[in-house]
Amino acid sequence: MYKTILFDLDGTLTESGEGIMKSVQYALEKIGKREDNLDNLRVFIGPPLLEQFISYASIDKETAKLCVKYFRERFSTKGIFENKLYPNVEYVLKTLKDKGYLLAVSSSKPEFFVLQILEYFNIKKYFDEVVGSTLDEKRTAKSEVIYETLNRMNLLNNREYVLMVGDRKHDIIGANSQDIDCLAVSYGYGSISELKNSKPLKIINSIDEILEIL
């Protein structure tokens, strides 16, 4: 029986694609790799940013670090607010809290930005812990973020009571590596085939379905 629910942020709680993709577009243009088609940049939603810049733009680590710097220039002032909650997110969070579940956010986004976003949407009050990556690009892998969440919540020896909810393979693989179950949401930024191949506990089509499972 689950007692603690860990939520991914982008693509699970918030529809953040516009702000992320436009900030990536800005960063790529700054290094001379202009990308006019925003849809091509959907791959940046979810994975660690530094690694994705290296992979997508075929650049070295130092150039990718520069891209992250440029990304944050735009994201910190504008992109962070090109964002909205998915339908019924607050209702589900409130219902889970009222039922006595412990809730946390486990995101590969820098913790500094995660906290800002939760405050902006007035949902931080529902979470017992909020964990993200660090601004110096440490703790970016989802497995590391989940481990840190479990550690802060004193749950390293009680993993069987923890459930992760996310929209990308990184959430599922990260959860599995930490020996916790993961629900995948189909409405986010991961394809159905990506989710199925990562072997989640179940794929759900709306966040409300969590309440039917728990």
Average pLDDT over residues 69-90: 95
User: Taking 80 as the threshold, does the pLDDT of residue 138 lie above it?
Assistant: no
pLDDT at 140: 81
Query: Using one digit for the tens of pLDDT, what is the confidence trace for 99-117?
Result: 999 999 999 999 999 999 9
- Inter-CA distances, 38 with 28, 54, 149, 173, 192, Å: 12, 18, 32, 26, 21
Distance of alpha carbon 64 from alpha carbon 10, whole angstroms = 21
CA distances, 120 to each of 8, 116, 123, 197 (Å): 17, 6, 8, 34
- Kindly state the tokens that stand for 104: 């946390």
pLDDT for 46 beyond 80: no
Mean pLDDT across the chain, nearest whole number? 95
* 108 touches 47 (CB < 8 A): yes
- From residue 52, alpha-carbon distances to 56, 103, 134, 176 in Å are 6, 28, 16, 22
Give catalytic status of residue 8 as yes or no: yes
Cα–Cα distances (Å) from 98 to 95, 103, 164, 202, 204, in that order, read 5, 11, 19, 24, 22
Q: By the 8 A CB rule, do 189 and 170 touch?
A: no
Q: Is residue 201 classed exposed, middle or buried when 0-12, 13-18 and 19+ CB atoms within 10 A define those classes?
A: middle
**How many C-beta atoms surround the C-beta of residue 78 within 10 A?**
13
Give the model's pLDDT for residue 207. Answer: 96
Provide the CB-side half-sphere exposure for 209 (13 A, CA): 12
| Alpha-carbon distances of 134 from 48, 139, 173, rounded to whole Å | 11, 6, 20
3-35: per-residue pLDDT in tens?
Answer: 999 999 999 999 999 999 999 999 999 999 999
Residues pairing with 10 in the sheet: 14
Active-site annotation holder among 8, 10, 167, 171: 8
DSSP string, 78-114: TGGGS-EEPTTHHHHHHHHHHTT-EEEEEEEEEHHHH
The predicted model scores a pTM of 0.90
What's the DSSP call for residue 1?
-
